[in-house]
Amino acid sequence: MRRGASPERRTEFPSARRTAGPSAEVAAFLDVLVVECGLAPNTIAAYRRDLGEFDAFLADAGLALETLAASHVLQFLMALRRRGLAISSVARHLSSLKMFLRFLYERRKLSADLAGLLDSPKKWSLLPDTLRIVQVDALLAAPDEQDPMCLRDRAMLELLYATGLRVSEVTALKVGDLNLEVGFLRCLGKGRRERVVPVGRSAIQATSEYLQRCRPALARQPDEGWLLLTRTGRALDRTNAWRLVRRYAQRLGLAGKVSPHTLRHCFATHLLQGGADLRVIQELLGHVDVATTQIYTHVDASRLKAIHRRYHPRP
């Protein structure tokens, strides 16, 4: 500490000493940061501290999240300053709160977008848009059966949601990467790390129909084996996959920027909401640095499939 500088006084609201852990809403938010955003443990700990203080402030003020207003957020920040926190520390609390408030608004825990009343932090991009299960169901059913490419598009959408793969991983799949009889696929993730992921029954059915009724007519000779093909028989690239998802979302009038990554985020969010174990979801998403053999070491394949079928809304 610089000589002559006064130490920053510790901020502690009375309820902070009585609170055993974070509220259910804060805990759910932290789960998303761990699983979907992949933030470092120290960063997660900082969010936990900041939002724990906000929890304590609400408890001391007798406030519920349902009645929260922007003025209450300002009161909290002013209380931090009165207790001696530096401007930089208050700014960090504000950044944490913005992300948390947006999280609550998107999940309809807040009736007003309080975060939108404040300056938008760059870190908001860490939390992609999510959809309700009924909205996902509508999106997966959106391809028009009159369009001959609907079978391919439905297979692509089902795979994105059923597996949580990145769009680059889905478009890089080859037919030989899928074993639909046992319900697994193999993919290469970031750093060319291989992992095995369960495929649910809905995605198996959609992909099987595409392979039997659509892909043979699209494939060029010699067949290079890419799973998802364009009308001209080339491999579907990530840009066109992104455009397809956006087109179907717009057709349904879904608000926000729905993209392939939205379905990946929904995959993780809906599994979490169903009670799936965080460690399993991290492995399914490829956030844990493990190879295929390590997947079977840490969590056996039969358990992965059982958990997927138990918790995924479209098993």
Please tell me whether the peptide bond between 222 and the residue prior to it is cis, using omega within 30 degrees of 0: yes
Catalytic sites, residue numbers = 166, 190, 261, 264, 287, 296
DSSP reduced 3-state for 314: coil
Give the C-alpha separation, 45 to 110, whole Å.
Answer: 24
Q: What is the DSSP string of 58-106?
A: HHHHT--GGG--HHHHHHHHHHHHHTT--HHHHHHHHHHHHHHHHHHHH
Instruction: Write down how long the chain is.
Output: 315
Nearest to 139 by CA among 35, 29, 13, 245: 245
- Which tokens go with 20? 């055993």
